[in-house]
Amino acid sequence: MNLGRAKTILIIAFIGLNLFLGYQLFWPDFGRLTSVAVTTEEISAVENLLNDNNYYLETSIERGIKTSDFLKVSPDWETLDNLLEGYIERGAEVESNEDLEYYRLDDKVAIIHSSGLLHIRYSPGILLDENLYQDNNDLDKSELKDLAVEFLEEENLMLQDLIYDYMEQENDEQTVVFFKQELDDKPIYTGHFKVIIEKDRITALEAYWLKPIKRIPEREMEVIPASEALRNLVNKLGSSTDERSIEEIELGYYSEEYDAENWEIPPVWRIALDGSEYYYINAFTGNLEQEPVIPEKLPDDDNS
């Protein structure tokens, strides 16, 4: 038999075999690569729904199909201990009661809650850069953010996976700068730092840092599209009397802070209203993650 002919036949046969294997292996994902989770019609429909209820979309909606998994975490006691090491080395006075531990050092008091939440109070506060600061209303957000980052670096609190999140003006005198935790470019909203600035001083810091134990790839599933998350939120909140803008919709991880050894965090769509109000829609169930559902108390016995 002609060798060249045999090679041709084998090439054809292997091309066929590889097509078959490729089909078996990738077909579902092929479909997902070529399609989108959110069609343009769906985006229009959602925008109409939002507008009808006085919400206005001022950000883009991700249209691709996304998957996610649960993330198992625990309070990061190791990082917390490292942060407090400096206090102890400098002779901090330590007190504790059932749920709280106090570290008093000069003009600072660090309080650790049993959940792992760290709260540091500075009295009378750390003065911001005098040259830069005259009235914090005069500073723009980027300057305040830079000051907060600078403060964290000076205090040795600027952790590797900590990134700036947003800023909230509580009142004329108080601004809070929020930082969030990240893991592989995915935000973990539960892990956060809050730098509290009052007038010309940083007066407090709240830190809650999580240790990612493991991702659970065997429970990886497709998440609901962002458009569905928006629908669910509007259904939950109802119509707004004032115009409200939706400025961000982002996929990350979020759960309540639990006083627990470890727990699994679900993926969520975080939706920002007016840049200061945040809602978390469970990206698997579509439910709003809000009040704890942990059984605590039975209804009052108010027999009729």
Partner 1 sequence: MIEHFKSALLLLLVLLSLVLTYQLWYGEKPAELTADDVYERVVVETPRPMENLVTPARITAFFEDESFLFRKGEPVYENLWVVLSQLLQDLQHDEIFAGMATPEEDATSCIVFYFNPVLPVGEEMPWFPGLNATEIEKIKLYCSTEEADEDAEAADNEEPVQNEEPAEAEEIEEEIEGQEEEEQVGEEERTKEYWLLLKKPGEDTSSSIPLTEEEAEQFIELLSEIPEEKGAYQPLTEEMLEEYFERDLRLQDSIYVPAGDVSMPTLSMEPEDPDEEKLLKTFFVDYNLVRTIEEGDGGVIYTDGGKGLRVTDSGLEYSNPRKEEGHSSVSYREALRNSSRFISYHGGWPENLRLEDLVFSSRGRYSYYESEWVFYHDGYPVYVEKPTRVHFNDLGLFNYSRSLFFVDDLQKNSNEDELAVENSDDPEDDLEEDDLENGPVADWVEALQEAIKIYDAQSPVNKTSLRLEAMEPGYVVTGTIDSPVGKPVWRINLEGEAIYLSVGELQEFGEEEIY
Select the residue interacting with partner 1 from 33, 260, 274, 277 (CB under 8 A): 260
Identify the CA nearest to 179 among candidates 169, 21, 168, 32. 168
Nearest approach, Cβ of 242 to partner 1 (angstroms)? 26
Residue 251 CA to residue 257 CA, distance in Å, equals: 19
**Residue 124: cis peptide before it, omega within 30 degrees of 0:** yes
Evaluate the CA torsion angle 114, 119, 72, 287 in order and state its sign.
Answer: positive
Shortest CB 203 distance to partner 1, Å? 32
Closest CA to 175 of 214, 201, 213: 201
Q: Using the rule CB under 8 A, is 263 a contact of partner 1?
A: yes
State yes or no: residue 302 binds partner 1 (CB under 8 A).
yes
Long-range contacts (CB closer than 8 Å, 24 or more residues apart) made by 103-112: 110/84, 112/80, 112/84
Q: How far is the CB of 62 from partner 1 (least distance, A)?
A: 17
Q: Shortest distance, CB of residue 85 to partner 1, whole angstroms?
A: 24
Mark the segment that binds partner 1 (CB under 8 A) among 19-27, 86-94, 118-126, 189-197: 19-27
- Find the binder of partner 1 among 50, 224, 226, 272 (CB under 8 A): 224
User: How far, in Å, CA of 9 to CA of 209, rounded?
Assistant: 62
| Token pair 């850069």: residue | 129
Query: Contacts with partner 1 in 43-82 (CB under 8 A)?
Result: 67, 70
The closest of 264, 247, 246 to 255, measured between CA atoms, is 264
Pair 72, 214: CB distance under 8 Å: yes
Under the criterion CB under 8 A, does residue 284 sit at the interface with partner 1? yes
Q: Does 238 bind partner 1 (CB under 8 A)?
A: no
3-state secondary structure of 85: helix
* 185 lines the binding site for partner 1 (CB under 8 A): no
β-pair partners for 37:
none
Residue 9 bridge partners (DSSP): none
Among 203, 264, 275, 278, binds partner 1 (CB under 8 A): 264
300 binds partner 1 (CB under 8 A): yes
Instruction: Give the binding-site size for partner 1 (rule: CB under 8 A).
Output: 53
Quick check: 98 binds partner 1 (CB under 8 A)? no
Find tokens 């080395």 and name the residue.
89
Site string for partner 1, 20-39 (x = CB under 8 A): -xx-xx--xx----------
Contact residues toward partner 1 (CB under 8 A) are: 3-4, 7-8, 10-11, 14-15, 17-18, 21-22, 24-25, 28-29, 67, 70, 217, 219-224, 255, 258-266, 282, 284-285, 287, 289, 291-296, 298-304
